[in-house]
Amino acid sequence: MLELENVSKAFDRVEIIYDKKNPLLRKFLNSAKKDKTNLYTEDMNEILNLTADLNDSIEKSIGELQNLKYKLPNSKLIETTVEYLDRVSDYENDMPLFLKLITDSIENNHFEVRDRISDGIARVNSARFDYQSQLDKFYRENNFTKKEIDSLIGKN
């Protein structure tokens, strides 16, 4: 039962990584929690594409800011963003293993995979926090509000 509890906690961490309001992801997670044998659905590619969309959004943001020649004084924004994108990419690559862990019967030989996924999720969260901190610093240094920056990069 402890293993199942750990899996449930891992799902909760996945929900933190992605937008909780995304109906497709919510549907996927809810069905996964109810029926752990029926995860490989036609929605799977769309689920994985959420990560790619996240990457694209961040890359576009950084590209736009660089093109507009905003100053980056003593900023780790670019470096932190690259780190975040790398972590998200690592996590995306590990997602099928994570799903396999859920769908298979949980046995001792899965502990290593579970721990690897859990560590990967933690690294993504840490990298995202660092990225967000640097982004907030960037807003302040350039005297822009978050709303102004979001409008520059095409967010509503």
H/E segment holding residue 131: helix 111-141
Residue 146: what pLDDT? 65
DSSP helix/strand/coil, 89 = helix
The number of beta carbons lying within 10 Å of the beta carbon of residue 83 is: 18
Mean pLDDT of the residues in the chain? 57
- 138: exposed, middle or buried (C-beta count within 10 Å: 0-12, 13-18, 19+)? buried
Tell me the pLDDT band of 134, cut-offs 50, 70 and 90. Answer: confident
Backbone angles phi, psi at 56, to 5 degrees: -60, -40
pLDDT exceeds 70 at position 130: yes
pLDDT exceeds 60 at position 40: no
Amino acid 116 reads R
Tell me the pLDDT band of 9, cut-offs 50, 70 and 90. Answer: very low
Residue 128: what pLDDT? 73
pLDDT digits (tens, 9 = 90+) for 76-97: 655 666 666 666 666 666 666 6
Residue 132: what pLDDT? 73
